[in-house]
Amino acid sequence: MKEDEPALVSVSRSDEGAYTLDWTKLYPVLAEYENVVSCSEYYEIFAKMIKDMVKAYNYSREDAMLVLKDLFYKTYLQLQREEK
């Protein structure tokens, strides 16, 4: 994608009124990775992480996922800093 092109994210609305974002136009890898990545291995790892967070901290599954997502992002940022 060129910098002068606007980033587009497709938004759709369900019959119940919920909005869904399609990030694949902005990040094509999201439409492709399931064909190359061994997803079942990662599902097992992520499921264990969520279950462990629920058990250890009495979080709901949603809260556990949000905490892990935040930690994953912070780890990503730390790796970027280390590369500089």
Residues 29 and 51 in one domain: no
Residues 73 and 45 in one domain: yes
Q: Looking at the 3D structure of the chain, how many domains does it have? A: 2
Q: How far apart are CA 76 and CA 68, in angstroms?
A: 12
Residue 4: which pLDDT band, with cuts at 50, 70 and 90?
A: low
Comparison of pLDDT for 9 and 61, the residue scoring more = 61
Residues 31 and 16 in one domain: yes
State the residue range of the domain holding 1.
1-37
Residues 20 and 43 in one domain: no
Q: What is the pLDDT of residues 17-50, one digit of tens each?
A: 788 888 888 899 999 999 999 999 999 999 999 9
Is the pLDDT at 61 greater than 70, yes or no?
Answer: yes
Q: How far apart are CA 9 and CA 32, in angstroms?
A: 17
Decide: helix, strand or coil at residue 54: helix
